[in-house]
């Protein structure tokens, strides 16, 4: 395939390498230094675009892909409030987009097992649950999109939790004492050079159960994004990564 990279930071460069390894061609690379090159004419050179930019630029990049009629893989998080509008544009405008908070194969297996575990824990109400996420200090959003997906998987399947609340460690205004029993705590940590660690913790008076995913590097995220590009190329509509993996078969 011919691929456009919208966002050419650390993730973009890893995606470029993996795409080349899988015999694809990068025909357009956009970062802050050449935003003027993000035109319909340039985008239409590509079969698909992969978007890993920032929360402040992702919506404009999506709109540019829709205008050019190019399918887009979106890995940027922090735009959940606009999701319904983008879905509508896909459904009624015959646009193509696949979105995930995390495209890693391992993380998506984790998401699936997390839902099963949460449903199982309804039979054991003496366990309370929280989510912990650790990322590098350059990560702009808190909690991570991956942590939100984990939390939503728990809330949808565990009767005792109705919503989530986030605390970023080091924030002097944060106070976990204000978290109510029906709220799921997501505790966020920012530590240099950590690609991403997510832990679901079920705790009782007698023991603790921990379910953890640790990323060793960004390669798993990047490979998943390229796999998503291969999957979405000939499809129309709004898709989640669950559509691509389909663990429910």
Catalytically active residues, by annotation: 135, 139
Ranges of beta strands (E only) in 52-123 are: 72-74, 96-99
Residues 6+ apart with CB under 8 A from 136: 190, 191, 192, 193, 194, 195
- Helices and strands of the chain, counted as H and E runs: 8, 11
Cα 16 off chain centre by? 19
State how far the alpha carbon of 190 is from the alpha carbons of 111, 131, 133, 141, 163, in Å: 22, 15, 9, 11, 23
CA 215 – CA 11 distance, rounded (Å):
14
Stated as kind and residue range, the H or E segment containing 29 is strand 25-30
Both tokens of residue 171? 């924030």
For 223, half-sphere exposure in the C-beta direction (CA atoms, 13 angstrom radius) is 11
Ranges of beta strands (E only) in 107-236 are: 128-135, 163-168, 183-190, 197-203, 208-214
Coil, strand or helix at 16: helix
Among all chains, which residue has been given the structure tokens 């953890």?
212
């Amino acid at each position: 395939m011919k691929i456009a990279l919208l966002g050419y930071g650390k993730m973009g460069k890893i995606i470029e390498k993996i795409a080349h390894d899988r015999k694809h061609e990068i025909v357009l690379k956009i970062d802050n230094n050449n935003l003027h090159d993000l035109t319909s004419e340039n985008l239409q050179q590509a079969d698909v675009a992969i978007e890993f930019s920032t929360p402040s630029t992702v919506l404009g990049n999506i709109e540019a892909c829709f205008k050019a009629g190019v399918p887009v893989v979106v890995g940027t998080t922090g735009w959940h409030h606009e999701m319904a509008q983008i879905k509508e544009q896909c459904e009624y405008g015959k646009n193509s987009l696949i979105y995930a908070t995390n495209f890693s194969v391992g993380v998506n297996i984790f998401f699936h097992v997390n839902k099963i575990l949460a449903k199982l824990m309804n039979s054991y109400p003496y366990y309370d649950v929280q989510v912990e996420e650790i990322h590098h200090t350059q990560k702009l959003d808190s909690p991570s999109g991956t942590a939100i997906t984990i939390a939503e998987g728990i809330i949808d399947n565990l009767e005792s939790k109705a919503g989530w609340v986030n605390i970023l460690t080091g924030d002097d205004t944060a106070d976990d004492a204000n978290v109510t029993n029906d709220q799921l705590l997501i505790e966020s940590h920012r530590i240099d050079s950590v690609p991403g660690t997510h832990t679901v913790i079920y705790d009782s008076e007698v023991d603790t159960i921990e379910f953890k995913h640790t990323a060793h590097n960004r390669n798993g995220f990047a490979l998943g994004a390229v796999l998503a590009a291969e999957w979405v190329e000939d499809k129309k509509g709004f898709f989640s990564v669950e559509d691509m993996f389909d663990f429910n078969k």
